[in-house]
Amino acid sequence: MNQGYFITGTDTNVGKTWATIALMRYFKKQGKLVVGMKPVAAGCVLVSRDNGEASSSGFIDPDNSSDLSWCNDDALLIQANVSVHVPYDLINPYAYEQPVSPHIAGINNPVEFGKIIECYHALKESADIVIVEGAGGWCAPLNAQQDISDLAKALDLPVILVVGVKLGCINHSKLTYQAIQQSGLSCAGWIAVCVDDDMLNEDENIQAIKAAISAPLLGVLPHLPTADFDLLAEQIEII
């Protein structure tokens, strides 16, 4: 049976993508066929459909613009780590140029859940597990009426909470966990990502969150100057 997880975070820039890729690598090592998805991404560059390389020129020739599309670095990283090739448009159906809240970036092309759900089901057909990375935090707005929590409910997936271990993380993790519980979705666990190399009492903060949250701690991802996803995958254990 196909299985999946919805990845949310205590905030933006807390390590959701690193956690997503680490989870994909973890499940691949378990012998699973894995694909990932970042349904909504704000902050994109023009990429050639032919060679996958970002356009380095600020000028786009109108005659060749059909060969270019907006792509997000995190979504491209997810695509690079799938078990089977899938089109970028399935992984990231909503790619917005500006790095702002999706409900603002998508004012002329608002997020519609039907399109995302259709892409998700198409991805499910090609894999055992689909890891879906959200945008921003649990209550980040996606359009004028719906936010990330609504998308997680629409997909009906167990949630994995990514906690960026930095000052304020105890409060943010407790509030986000309570909101996930109130949504009626199950929280499969949480992952601590050490995003601040100068964090004081890092272990004590993680232990405080562990005591406050009943969902299991699935792993602690250390601070790294550059990503080593095999190393990060080794830090994860899902029972």
Check residue 61 and give its pLDDT. 44
Whether 117 maps to a domain, the answer reads yes
Check residue 48 and give its pLDDT. 84
Is 38 one of the catalytic residues? yes
- For the chain, where are the alpha helices, taking DSSP H only? 16-29, 73-80, 88-91, 102-105, 113-124, 148-155, 169-183, 202-212, 229-234
Distance CA 27, CA 100 (A): 32
Token couple for 127: 């894999």
CATH number at residue 167: 3.40.50.300
Distance CA 227, CA 223 (A): 9
Whether 210 maps to a domain, the answer reads yes
**Could you give the number of structural domains in the chain?**
1
Q: What is the pLDDT along the chain (239 residues), one digit of tens a residue?
A: 458 999 999 999 999 999 999 999 999 999 999 999 999 999 999 998 654 444 333 334 444 456 789 999 999 999 999 999 999 999 999 999 999 999 999 999 999 999 999 999 999 999 999 999 999 999 999 999 999 999 999 999 999 999 999 999 999 999 999 999 999 999 999 999 999 999 999 999 999 999 999 999 999 999 999 999 999 999 999 97
Whether 23 maps to a domain, the answer reads yes
Whether 116 maps to a domain, the answer reads yes
Whether 110 maps to a domain, the answer reads yes
Check residue 53 and give its pLDDT. 44
Whether 193 maps to a domain, the answer reads yes
Whether 95 maps to a domain, the answer reads yes
Distance CA 171, CA 173 (A): 6
Whether 239 maps to a domain, the answer reads no
Query: In angstroms, what CA-CA distances link 88 with 39, 70, 116?
Result: 10, 10, 13
Residue of 16, 28, 29, 38 marked active site:
38
User: Could you list the residue range(s) of the whole structural domain that residue 159 is in?
Assistant: 3-234
Of 119, 140, 100, 131, nearest to 19 (Cα)? 131
User: Which strand (E) or helix (H) includes residue 189?
Assistant: strand 187-193
Residue that has been written with the tokens 């603002």 in this structure:
104
